[in-house]
């Protein structure tokens, strides 16, 4: 066990290493570790020269004067330059053969399909930009987008960006209360929504939620509604307009505005652990550059690829890796509107087979669900088109990683476990698939230009394999610029915890090979007898047992030890809950990690409470484990019946 400099102990011990497959490396953009290390060294030694060289890859109306102005905590990148992200994602491809290439292949949950070529997408975006102009939207105005995962959402984002209007995408699963807060915080002038969307066979009534919200949003002057489900909705005269009707009345040419590098591109709200959601602000050029580069490096995009990132566009992953990153690279993006288990648990595998998907990027929580549903679902389908797999959003347990590799990737596809955040805008730590040997459960090494470290609270770098706080030591082009309307909170939250560096809020360790192992949020750290354990590691140990599909570990106050470990566990299909199994699992964790980590209590449950983006709500489990009831805010919970079950199971 490591010494306790930072007071976070790392106990996961994973020894397996998988080198990149030779044929993958041969055809990859970055072909070897040496090539990757050269780039990294170049960026390390002269970062501004490196970023300037990289910035040649995007289109500029006017080149920048200064690469970086850095006054901690405020960065300005490519100062004096002028560009437009919508131009980079569309217009730039039109004089090339990509004009007639599919930009978006979309599948609705009920099964309909639509394809938009780059030229068609360009036309739609120009038209909608003209609609926005006619609605009085100008450079700098904020526009709220509250839509299902349909092409119109990407069109609306690109149309805003074309004019220099700042979009605020609000995930279609949020309630009207969440809408009110977000619309008012940003002072949005216009809302773009749909009658509804499809999720697991039912209609999500978006327009009804907007109607409710607009009673309390004084800045909103109008609402544009996409007809998606065809359900009856109420349209308020003078305020509400149909998308398809407005689109008929406008011209299909609209030049992209020449915007300053630091022009605000979008606001995206993320929930902090407490308090109101933070409006993360991203700007134009640096964000574009880093989405473009990371997409190319990490997904090793080829022009023939069909690329599918399953994230909803309402989250940052959808912004950077469904819309801006892939489109700026001229990629064919697959979009699917609905749930992975509709009508059956093999919908994703069906889609991969039907469209011959090559690159598949999803979340560990989805992978654990697939494991739980059983491998016969993917095994029914031909997944041989896949050549690269990715994950994002939480630490992936080594056992889930191995399942992903064997069952989905047939031991043929490299896996890129990508660590980043809404605040970082783009991937920070990830394998480069043709170059980096992977270790199950590690996001491996930082990408070129990203200087990460693991530190103690007092800002001292810890030794190999010692746990600590993950920080980023230098500004990077796609970094958050501020929290909308609350610059002080920005400074405090990210730049004051440890002096002089960006504080990510995650625990991590770096092994002797320079590989990073993310241990989960710092607030998910458990202090047992003065030893702090990453919940993710205890969970990994549990999931490595054959009976366990998924687990979430939380702390309950304990007089003797400070905290007791409570593990909520869902079982794989054929296994039955029993006291013997509880004992066996406790022993198993003790064996995998040490007696220190043995759960004090194991609770079997059918499901875990999750946010709509799929993150386990450990806060709720902590409350249940501690007091048996929930007093806190549950607005982001996906399925309320889970709580009821957890409560009754307890009695």
Kindly list the residues in this chain that would bind ligand WTA in the complex (CB under 6 A): 270, 315-317, 392-395, 417-422, 443, 504-506, 518, 521
Q: Pick from 190, 206, 208: which is nearest to 147 by CA?
A: 206
Q: Contact, 461 vs 455, CB < 8 A? A: yes
Determine how many CB atoms are found less than 10 A away from the CB of residue 540.
27
Q: Pick from 152, 161, 184, 167: which is nearest to 277 by CA?
A: 184
Q: Please say which residue, 179 or 536, places its beta carbon nearer to ligand WTA.
A: 536
Whole-angstrom Cα distance, residue 301 to residue 306?
Answer: 9
Distance of closest approach, residue 541 Cβ to ligand WTA, in angstroms: 16
DSSP tag of 527:
E
Q: Please say which residue, 132 or 443, places its beta carbon nearer to ligand WTA.
A: 443
Determine how many CB atoms are found less than 10 A away from the CB of residue 396.
28
Distance of closest approach, residue 492 Cβ to ligand WTA, in angstroms: 17
DSSP tag of 531:
E
Distance of closest approach, residue 536 Cβ to ligand WTA, in angstroms: 7
Q: Please say which residue, 377 or 517, places its beta carbon nearer to ligand WTA.
A: 517
Whole-angstrom Cα distance, residue 620 to residue 638?
Answer: 12
Q: Please say which residue, 176 or 422, places its beta carbon nearer to ligand WTA.
A: 422
Distance of closest approach, residue 597 Cβ to ligand WTA, in angstroms: 19
Q: Please say which residue, 91 or 417, places its beta carbon nearer to ligand WTA.
A: 417
Q: Please say which residue, 287 or 420, places its beta carbon nearer to ligand WTA.
A: 420
- What does the block give as tokens for 433? 């698939």
DSSP H or E run through 388:
strand 388-392
Distance of closest approach, residue 616 Cβ to ligand WTA, in angstroms: 11
Distance of closest approach, residue 158 Cβ to ligand WTA, in angstroms: 21
Distance of closest approach, residue 436 Cβ to ligand WTA, in angstroms: 14
Q: Please say which residue, 189 or 521, places its beta carbon nearer to ligand WTA.
A: 521
What would the DSSP string read from start to end of 60-126?
A: -SB--SEEEEEETTEEEEEET-EE-HHHHHTGGGTTSGGGGSEEEEEE-TTS-EEEEEHHHHHHHHH
Distance of closest approach, residue 486 Cβ to ligand WTA, in angstroms: 17
Q: Please say which residue, 393 or 446, places its beta carbon nearer to ligand WTA.
A: 393
Q: Contact, 430 vs 300, CB < 8 A? A: no
What would the DSSP string read from start to end of 195-248?
A: S-EEETTEEE-HHHHHHHHGGG-TT--EEEEE-SS-------TTTEEEHHHHHH
Distance of closest approach, residue 592 Cβ to ligand WTA, in angstroms: 19
Q: Which residues of 615-634 are buried (b: 16+ CB within 10 A; e: fewer)?
A: bbbbbbbbbbbeeeebeeee
Q: Please say which residue, 305 or 506, places its beta carbon nearer to ligand WTA.
A: 506
Distance of closest approach, residue 422 Cβ to ligand WTA, in angstroms: 3
Q: Please say which residue, 25 or 421, places its beta carbon nearer to ligand WTA.
A: 421
CA distances from 413 to 1, 301, 384, 385, 401 (A): 34, 14, 10, 10, 12
């Amino acid at each position: 066990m490591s010494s306790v400099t930072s007071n976070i102990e790392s106990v996961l011990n994973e020894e397996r290493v998988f080198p990149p497959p030779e044929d993958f490396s041969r055809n990859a953009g970055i072909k070897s570790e040496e090539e990757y290390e050269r780039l990294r060294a170049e960026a390390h030694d002269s970062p501004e020269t490196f970023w300037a060289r990289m910035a040649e890859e995007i289109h500029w109306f006017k080149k920048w004067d200064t690469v970086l102005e850095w006054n901690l905590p405020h960065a300005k990148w490519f100062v004096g330059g002028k560009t437009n992200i919508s131009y980079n994602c569309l217009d730039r491809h039109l004089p090339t053969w990509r004009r007639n290439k599919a930009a978006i292949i979309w599948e609705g949950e009920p099964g309909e399909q639509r394809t938009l070529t780059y030229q068609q997408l360009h036309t739609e975006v120009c038209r909608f930009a003209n609609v926005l102009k006619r609605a009085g939207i100008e450079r700098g105005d904020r526009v709220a987008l509250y839509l299902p995962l349909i092409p119109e959402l990407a069109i609306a984002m690109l149309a805003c960006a074309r004019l220099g209007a700042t979009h605020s995408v609000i995930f279609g699963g949020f309630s009207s209360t969440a809408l009110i807060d977000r619309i008012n915080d940003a002072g949005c002038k216009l809302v773009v929504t749909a009658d509804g969307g499809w999720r697991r066979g039912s209609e999500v009534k978006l327009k009804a939620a907007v109607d409710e919200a607009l009673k309390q949003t004084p800045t909103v002057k109008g609402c544009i509604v996409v007809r998606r489900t065809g359900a009856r909705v109420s349209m308020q005269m003078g305020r509400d307009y149909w998308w398809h009707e407005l689109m008929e009345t406008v011209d299909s040419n609209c030049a992209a505005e020449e915007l300053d590098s630091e022009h605000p591109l979008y606001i995206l709200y993320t929930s902090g652990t407490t308090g109101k959601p933070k409006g993360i602000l991203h700007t134009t050029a640096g964000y574009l550059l880093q989405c473009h580069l990371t997409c190319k490096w990490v997904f090793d995009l080829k022009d023939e690829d069909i690329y599918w990132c399953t994230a909803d566009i309402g989250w940052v992953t959808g912004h950077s890796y469904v819309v801006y990153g892939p489109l700026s690279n001229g990629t064919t993006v697959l979009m699917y509107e609905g749930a992975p288990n509709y009508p059956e648990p093999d919908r994703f595998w069906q889609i991969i087979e039907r469209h011959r998907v090559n690159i598949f990027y999803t979340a560990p929580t989805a992978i654990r669900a697939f494991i739980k549903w059983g491998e016969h679902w993917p095994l029914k389908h031909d997944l041989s088109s896949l050549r690269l797999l990715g994950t994002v959003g939480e630490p992936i347990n080594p056992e889930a990683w191995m399942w992903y590799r064997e069952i989905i990737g047939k031991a043929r596809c490299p896996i890129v476990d990508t660590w980043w955040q809404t605040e970082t805008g783009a991937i920070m730590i990830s394998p480069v698939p043709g170059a980096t040997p992977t270790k199950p459960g590690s996001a491996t090494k930082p990408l070129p230009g990203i200087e990460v470290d693991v530190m103690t609270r007092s800002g001292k770098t810890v030794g190999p394999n010692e746990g600590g706080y993950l920080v980023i030591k230098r500004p990077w082009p796609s970094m958050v610029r501020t929290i909308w309307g609350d610059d002080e909170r920005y400074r405090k939250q990210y730049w004051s915890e440890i002096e002089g560096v960006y504080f990510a809020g995650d625990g991590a360790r770096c092994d002797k090979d320079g590989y990073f192992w993310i241990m989960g949020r710092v607030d998910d750290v458990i202090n047992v007898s003065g030893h702090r354990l990453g919940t993710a590691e205890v969970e990994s140990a549990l999931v490595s047992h054959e009976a366990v599909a998924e687990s979430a570990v939380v702390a309950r106050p304990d007089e003797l030890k400070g905290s007791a470990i409570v593990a909520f566990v869902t079982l794989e299909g054929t296994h039955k809950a029993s006291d013997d199994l509880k004992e066996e699992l406790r022993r198993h964790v003790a064996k995998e990690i040490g007696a220190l980590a043995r759960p004090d209590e194991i609770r079997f449950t059918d499901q875990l409470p999750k946010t709509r983006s799929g993150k386990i709500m450990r806060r709720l489990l902590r409350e249940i484990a501690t007091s048996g009831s929930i007093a806190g805010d549950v607005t982001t919970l996906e399925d309320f019946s889970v709580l009821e079950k957890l409560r009754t199971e307890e009695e």
